[in-house]
Structure 1
Amino acid sequence: MAHLRAAGLGALADLGFRGLDNGVLDPVIVTGFHATRTHKLTPGQKTANRVLANGRAPVEHGFAHLKNWRILTELRTEPARATCLLRALLVLTNLEVNR
Structure 2
Amino acid sequence: MGFLGLDDDGDNPVVVTGFKATRARKLAPAEREANRILAAGRTPVERGFAHLKNWRILTKLRTDHARATHLLRALLVLTNIEATTGN
Q: State TM-score, norm by structure 1.
A: 0.68
- 1:14-47 per-position Cα deviation (integer Å, ceiling 9, x unaligned): xxxxxxxxxxxxxx21110011111211111000
Contact 1:66–1:93 (CA<8 Å) still a contact in 2? no
Give the aligned partner of residue 61 of structure 2: 75
Tell me how far apart the structure 2 counterparts of residues 55 and 84 of structure 1 sit (CA, whole Å). 20
- 1:59-89 per-position Cα deviation (integer Å, ceiling 9, x unaligned): 1111111111111111121110010000111
Taking a change above 3 Å as real, the CA distance of residues 53 and 85 of structure 1, as seen in their structure-2 partners, is same
Give the aligned partner of residue 61 of structure 1: 47
Identity score, percent: 65
What SS does the aligned partner of 2:10 have?
helix
Q: State TM-score, norm by structure 2.
A: 0.77
What SS does the aligned partner of 2:20 have?
coil
Quote the offset at 1:4 in angstroms.
Answer: 4.9
Give the aligned partner of residue 33 of structure 2: 47
C-alpha RMSD of matched pairs (Å): 2.0
Give the aligned partner of residue 71 of structure 2: 85
For this pair of structures, how many residues does the alignment match?
Answer: 78
Quote the offset at 1:95 in angstroms.
Answer: 3.1
| Residue segments in structure 1 that go unaligned for 5+ positions in a row | 11-27
